[in-house]
A and B are shown apart, each in its own frame.
Chain A
């Protein structure tokens, strides 16, 4: 659990309000009590669940971990000029994750698509993660697919709160709305986006709901009272 290569170990600050109210069972996930199966043949003896100590040491399941990969053909074929911005290439649960620096992001994405050996012409998805408390608060995540190689890869880059991220909407049209959504819900600005405005929330809404410091019950009270004519929404 304490491998140092985990970029996404969350800091204490991320445990925002409302994050801890669920019961935490002491048993680790693999040893947790099993639900009695529905089929009668296995559930004949009533298994007391709560207070029984974990049954005899089971075969420890392999806990998945991030493994560094240095011979991934995809990232070896990258143009040398853009390859310098690759910080690490890892595997997790058989999915490739490539972390790049923000400065080289755009050039790398162009190369991933235009490089004839790679041809990552399908931007499957794009989103962001909020690591509140980290110096580089946001992590942008791009899922790319190459029809030619049949490979799905993930590109990650970190950005500080005030940093502007280059838009990839000129590379993949898909990114247009996806970046608008990230801007809407995380408040991350994109440079070079043709039409950066809110998409899911109203244009004059204040706050970015998917940030970790935005409580789940929080609402833009001024907006609600002026548009919905509700004086106080029950919280």
Chain B
């Protein structure tokens, strides 16, 4: 397998402060990779560098073997991106947004129409093709952005918080869509705040903290490192303590040693536990 993304020593400074700090990361072709990190860890900056919107201070990024800083215009045909914020042109309909993208990516006019209706069908928006962006729901906007990103058949797809603000049903639909794109051969680079999203989707996840990766592995292996079983001890009013154990036997043994007045929950650990332990801070609920 060849490398779709190859980042080495990537650094980005904003007014003296290192937002990305010597980042090294490789993503293989065909992989579904999750890029996690607390707010301000440097995820969006990294994605902006990978997608030619920001210039790195130091380091090197190769996308499908092409140097992003040296050959930005060539690299632009290799990837598609669904940005965190809505970046559709709100003066246009869904179909017109797609057509603009198709034109900008030089799809021949004979192919344009066919490809657009193909993609609209793929994200189930055919009936809404002629709706203006302001007149469709958040989930539809998200799907329209995914359709747009896939239009020029990119080998690599960046998804920056693709399900933020979506309801549970829509989120699962988008998940299915992501899995389908990946099984159709697209390499997917996903950033998300919802750790369970990465756990559900990704073969491998990296945790970014203060601008560099502190862990990269399959979600299951990361959990094994921490312990497959979590014990939560809620001591009244003083918050919650977490302990991790390799198996249930070890966890039960620990629980039996505890004084009886604490509320104790024993459960399987998850990627969010890994995330919180590794980054030393809570992301959700604080």
The finding on whether chains A and B are genuine partners in a shared complex, rather than unrelated, reads no
Interface residues of B (CB under 8 A from A): none
Interface residues of A (CB under 8 A from B): none
